[in-house]
Amino acid sequence: MPASKALEFYRAKRDFSKTSEPSGAKTTRVTAKPENLRFVVQKHAARRLHYDLRLELDGVLKSWAVTKGPSLVAGDKRLAVHVEDHPLEYGDFEGVIPQGEYGAGSVMLWDRGRWIPIGDPRKGYARGHLKFSLRGDKIGGDWALVRMRPKMGERIDNWLLIKAADDAARDKNEPDILEEKQDSILTGKPIEKIADDPSARRWTRGEPIKSSDTFTPRQRARAPLASGKATGFRQEPASKTALEPLRIRFPKAARSARIGGFVAPCLAAATATPPAGTRFVHEVKFDGYRLQAVLQKGQAVIKTRRGLDWTAKFPSLASAVAELPIKSAVFDGEAVVEDRGGIADFAALQEAIKAGRNGAITFYLFDLLHLNGHDLKSLPLLRRKEILERVVSTAPPGGPLRYSAHFFSRGYELLQHVCRLGGEGIVSKRTDKPYRPGRNGDWLKAKCTNRQEFVVIGYVPSSSTPKAIGSLVLGYYENGKLLHAGRAGSGYNLQTARDLFAALEKARIDDTAAEGPLPAEARHNVRWVAPSLVAEVEFRGWTAANMLRQAAFKGLREDKAASEIVREAAPPERQPQAKQPPKPNVRLTHPDRLLWPRAGFTKGALADYYASIWNFIAPNIVGRPLALLRCPAGIDNGCFFQRHHWEGADPNILEIDDPEEDKPLIGIANLDGLIALVQASAVEIHPWGSKAKALNKPDRLIFDLDPGPQIDWNHLVAAALEVRASLARDKLESFVKTSGGKGLHVVAPVAPRATWEEAKDYCRAVADAMAGANPDRVTATMAKRERSGRIFVDYLRNGRGSTAAAAYSTRARPEASISMPVEWSELDTIGSADHFTLFNYSRRLGDLGSDPWHGMDELKQQLPGKKSRASRILK
């Protein structure tokens, strides 16, 4: 891209009649030799002090805002937010950007010198993994910039700046380079004195800026917003005595008004299918607390959707809103806690609030109702969001405030994408409508699975844990009557089960407060309570008797009243499974026993999961010898591996004779056999790579990619793609799945003709070739000392009796993760090997359509002959 084109965004954000920053109009240098590329680090006292790293490439300075500055400690990861390209002349800029302009504050040249790319810099930059060496006055050695996978709906381009372990690196106990060398390399002055330097470049507008015009961090936090044509902002000159809030040339529809009382929220009506057409935009639906943030006189108040003051629950959010450079505002948004894959987790949000971990909470802002003395509710949605985005852009990178991006793409496609990643759904909004309270059809929500609030009308005590609940009995209102809805028997961790028991015992009543029939099984052992609490529940559907099916508790909703809970419209069966699974006949004892105490999933929940995905998991475990990880008392207590059939096993657990073993192996033939394994508390299932009828002839090759410390997801995905390419050169199609732990599994089906030794030799050749080509990134050696900072390509899974976690098997990990098959194209959007769990699997399967491994065993692939070795695989 020409430098002039690359700088369009840079120029659009600045008024060069007000700021003396270079416009880039004189940029003529398009390319430079690798040994002559320049870099600069500028210390920037904007609203938040940070350091800007700029690398010359293709006639511009590629730029990142490093929030905490570079660290010379090897392995330290510093957040680096990718910002717009800057002109080459910016590498000489030191001065003051005036208040009211983008990036207002002092800019100091902290370091500069040459940077030397390691490898092709354009390819590294494009794929999000740029390696380079710095030769500066203050910092040097090898570094890496690694792009982080964006969270769902997020537009911020976050990278990590990482120092390599070399002679230029420092120990953690050595002085911090940022503290040791604080001053300008140009003038030797600290950043606080930049404004006093008469030679410093600054906006003068006819009169010089004096040192008395510099601002404290608190003043800077209240400084006016940057101006911008897109929102019609009109920036007034900054006062020398006090900073005035932003003044806006508001359209007539935005009348002047003070912030009044609580604004009832606009609510999304349920819809089976997202609307089509250009009148709607679509946003990711968040799984958290709907909140309203009200800013007045420097103080922010956080309110619930019913107007309750929850500022004390969200002090970090209130503080972040109060520090925005505006006078007054009313924001509409949602507080969430996200997992590493960017999926919001309501239970994790409640735990964060309870533990006071405010740093884990993110506040997504999706509407702006009032700003600086003007009521914006009458403006159309896109106009409100346009202004909102500019306001949120002034929040510091890495803080809790986020702008909720919208998409003009077809809503159905976005919904499919969100569901396959395990998200909750999307909200579609009319672009031309004002903000109107209530469910008026302006906003529509389409969910990935059945999920809604229910009234708690009773509970069943746990059969395995004293003074804890085993399930909740639920209801909902219809035409003023409270009706039964059945039970939710999973989703309670141990502490939650005990807390609910203590709270509900105090609310017990003699009989149910609900009307209508309730099956005898649903009434068994129920203790009824007054209908005051509201629980959020995710479930698989409704039975013919209008009872919930496979319901899981997600948390209590203190922000909603029991009287407003009604039955919502169900999402569509967008991609129904080709075959409905049979109903198992095996009875579980103690179905409420917690197998994953911290995640809150029980033996009954595990059985429900396997029943729902039976058609997918069956080809991976039926007719194969199995090794099990059994955890009778839960994953935290006394788990053990079971390789052989045992006395007293359920008759549905079959014996497989192995001539090389004294005891028979374990096998199953149908869903009853799988549920029998659940009854035996098998939380992991590990099949052989061969079938029982041909124990010595493997029919699947498996490569277990096990990342060492400090290996990011992008590196792991790249290694998996290398394995795929290697196999493809030998005409072997391969498939991939998450391990449910740290790594990825690449699997290739082959005809059962070769021996185990031949299969292992071939896989070892692939692994050795990868390690030889990338010794700094990959190892084929099992020794732990060789695996630090590398990916171990484990080919040893291809031996007789060796196993790996089955596709769709759960794992004995605190978050109840699943080893999930995925499409190759999905790897970039997942973000971690434990992304899929018992918490989010149902959302994915609802839109999966077909098993990503469908047809694997129908491929007639041959294991290459003995001549196929590393030289042939990785030419």
Share of the chain above pLDDT 90, in %: 55
Position 611: which residue type? A
pLDDT over threshold 70, residue 116: yes
Active site residues: 285
pTM higher than the cut 0.85: no
**Contacts by 53-56 with C-beta closer than 8 Å and gap 24+?**
53/80, 53/161, 54/86, 54/90, 54/91, 55/115, 55/132, 56/32, 56/88, 56/91, 56/115
Q: Which two tokens stand for residue 470?
A: 């085993």
Domain locations in the chain?
3-214, 269-442, 450-564, 700-873
For range 218-225, the mean pLDDT = 30
Among 91-105, 210-224, 412-426, 667-681, name the one with the lowest average pLDDT.
210-224
Smallest CA-to-CA distance from 392 within 365, 419, 425 is with 365
Q: What CATH number should be reported for the domain whose range is 700-873?
A: 3.90.920.10
CB atoms within 10 A of CB 29: 14
Position 54: which residue type? R
CA 191 – CA 671 distance, rounded (Å): 69
Q: How confident is the model at residue 230 (pLDDT cuts 50, 70, 90)?
A: very low
Q: What is the pLDDT of residue 581?
A: 62
Q: For the segment 138-188, what is each residue's pLDDT rounded down to a tens digit?
A: 999 999 999 887 666 556 788 999 998 888 899 888 889 998 899 898 888
- Say if CB 810 and CB 838 are below 8 A apart: yes
Q: How confident is the model at residue 3 (pLDDT cuts 50, 70, 90)?
A: low
Per CATH, the architecture of 269-442 is what? 2-Layer Sandwich (3.30)
Q: For the segment 341-369, what is each residue's pLDDT rounded down to a tens digit?
A: 778 888 889 889 988 888 899 999 999 99
Q: What is the pLDDT of residue 390?
A: 84
CA 37 – CA 535 distance, rounded (Å): 59
pLDDT over threshold 50, residue 222: no
CA 332 – CA 315 distance, rounded (Å): 17
Q: What CATH number should be reported for the domain whose range is 450-564?
A: 2.40.50.140
Longest Cα–Cα distance in the chain: 95
Continuous H helices in 230-378:
315-322, 346-355
Smallest CA-to-CA distance from 60 within 46, 39, 42, 81 is with 39
For range 513-519, the mean pLDDT = 82
pLDDT over threshold 50, residue 700: yes
DSSP 154: -
